[in-house]
Structure 1
Amino acid sequence: MIDFRTPASPRTIQVVTDWVWGWALSRGTPDPVQEPDGYRIDVGLPEHRVRHVLLEPGSAGPRAAGLTEPGSWLKVCGSAEHVRPALSSRWTIGAPEYLMSTELGTRQTITPPDHYTVETHSTGDVHDAVVRTDGGEFAAKGRVAVRGSAAVIDVVETGPAHRRRGLGRVVMSELSRVAEDRGAVRAVLVATEAGLALYEKLGWTVESPITAAHLAA
């Protein structure tokens, strides 16, 4: 059994584990590394060198104390009001995010509205859905990474000129279908404040608030 040395529930540990491994698969990073307070992902980008995913706010202070390089990120299961006091002024706190999950296999297929089509492309266990206009213009997109029985939804986006037309629902429906076809029975994502309402309407449940913080260059 994983020993995270935190009071996190088995449910939280499972959802975070699904998300971390699926996110790494989606982004093409090295495999996550288990650590006493959660996971580390060596992303390797100049502005996102390393990501630490922590299971509870009490881990934020001790973990932050050992990080000094720009491009170091924390993703903490907990609200900003509980995380911020543990971090120095060097850390930039991001907008609220939400770890969410859903069981697959219970949704109806949502087809694109008139003059839009949806297409999918797969590379191994990573699958992209793209909605385009009849003329081929990009309208919306998203990605799902499937690992075992879990799927992680990632990089969902609707173009500004095509919002409020239900295309986010179309993308989510297609990604869920692809995940189910490949054996996933549950799905996880991290939503922004803007995406929260959509996912709740689609039946997703908030598992935990997420506070993101990073050391800027």
Structure 2
Amino acid sequence: MVSAGFESAREDVNVREWVDGWVVSRGASAPLLEPWGYTIHVGQIPHVARHVLAATNDAVLEADVRKATESARGLNWHLKVFADPERVLPWLAPGWEPYGSGDYLMVTELDASETVPGPPPGYRLHTWDRGGVTRVLLTDSDGSFAARGQIAPVGASAVVDQIETAEEHRRRGLGKVVMRTLHAAARAQGSTRAVLACTPEGRLLYEAVGWRTVAPLTNAKFVG
């Protein structure tokens, strides 16, 4: 479904799937449809709400970016545009500042033949479901945090979110254990594909477990 006035041919289904799963993962509001995409209320002091443009790459239009950023004047509203920052940043209305660098939108098909490895020696795997979200936690032998992640299946698609590995536990294969465990959890709930937004560091992990890049991600927020 698209909002009145938005050209459905320019709406990227990967963005809509990411939006629908992200709001479940973070407990945010249902997305409000806009002529250029979606508005989501997050409800945090550093992140009150966000605008997400529905198009990606060359389908993102200057007029849509300007309209979205001109419509928000509240501090700590955020903007997500899945297109090259070199194109997007000159189109921001006054008061908006970029943050982050080199982020991406990525997707994968969930392969039923994928094996799910157990945790390496010295680590314990914990999983639980709450509010439609499956969470995975790896701890070391004394119970300290090692790695985590979560996934929100929404129908045929699922959103992977908040993947993190403690610095002292990196390069031990923990990220792959978390990702493949999340993949299996989503498949068990009927999802056949998944989508995520990531940093440059995360991209290497996701490519290693079969993900591909759809578009770069430009981040900005209103600072007044």
Output the CA distance in 2 between the equivalents of 1:96 and 1:212: 10
- What are the equivalent positions in structure 2 for 1:77-116 lying under 5 Å apart? 77-88=82-93, 90-94=95-99, 95-105=101-111, 106-116=113-123
Matched, 1:169 2:176: yes
- Post-superposition CA distance 1:136-188 (Å, at most 9, x none): 11100000011111110000000111011111111001111111111111100
Q: CA deviation at 1:30?
A: 1.5
- Post-superposition CA distance 1:67-106 (Å, at most 9, x none): 2111111100111101111124522212221111000024
Alpha carbons 1:47, 1:216 under 8 Å: kept: no
After TM superposition, the score normalised by the length of structure 2 is 0.90
Alpha carbons 1:57, 1:76 under 8 Å: kept: no
Give the aligned residue type for 2:153: V
**Corresponding position of 2:149:** 142
Output the CA distance in 2 between the equivalents of 1:162 and 1:107: 24
Give the aligned residue type for 2:214: E
Alpha carbons 1:141, 1:158 under 8 Å: kept: yes
**Corresponding position of 1:63:** 68
Once structures 1 and 2 are overlaid, which stretch shifts more, 137-146 or 109-118? 109-118
Output the CA distance in 2 between the equivalents of 1:27 and 1:114: 32
- What are the equivalent positions in structure 2 for 1:119-158 lying under 5 Å apart? 119-158=126-165
Aligned to 1:44, the other structure's residue is in SS state strand
Task: State how many pairs are aligned.
Answer: 215
Q: CA deviation at 1:212?
A: 0.6
Q: CA deviation at 1:5?
A: 2.4
Alpha carbons 1:57, 1:77 under 8 Å: kept: no
Identity of aligned residues (%): 38
Alpha carbons 2:2, 2:8 under 8 Å: kept: no
Matched, 1:2 2:5: no
Two-structure CA RMSD over aligned residues (Å): 1.7
After TM superposition, the score normalised by the length of structure 1 is 0.93
- What are the equivalent positions in structure 2 for 1:29-48 lying under 5 Å apart? 29-48=28-47
Alpha carbons 1:77, 1:209 under 8 Å: kept: yes
Output the CA distance in 2 between the equivalents of 1:163 and 1:150: 28
Give the aligned residue type for 2:107: S
**Corresponding position of 1:202:** 209
Judged with a 3 Å threshold, the aligned counterparts in structure 2 of structure 1 residues 47 and 126 are, in CA distance, closer, same or farther, namely same
Judged with a 3 Å threshold, the aligned counterparts in structure 2 of structure 1 residues 6 and 86 are, in CA distance, closer, same or farther, namely farther
Aligned to 1:145, the other structure's residue is in SS state strand
Alpha carbons 2:38, 2:51 under 8 Å: kept: yes
Judged with a 3 Å threshold, the aligned counterparts in structure 2 of structure 1 residues 163 and 67 are, in CA distance, closer, same or farther, namely same
Q: Gapped runs of 5+ residues in structure 1?
A: none
Q: Gapped runs of 5+ residues in structure 2?
A: none
Give the aligned residue type for 1:200: E
Output the CA distance in 2 between the equivalents of 1:116 and 1:78: 39
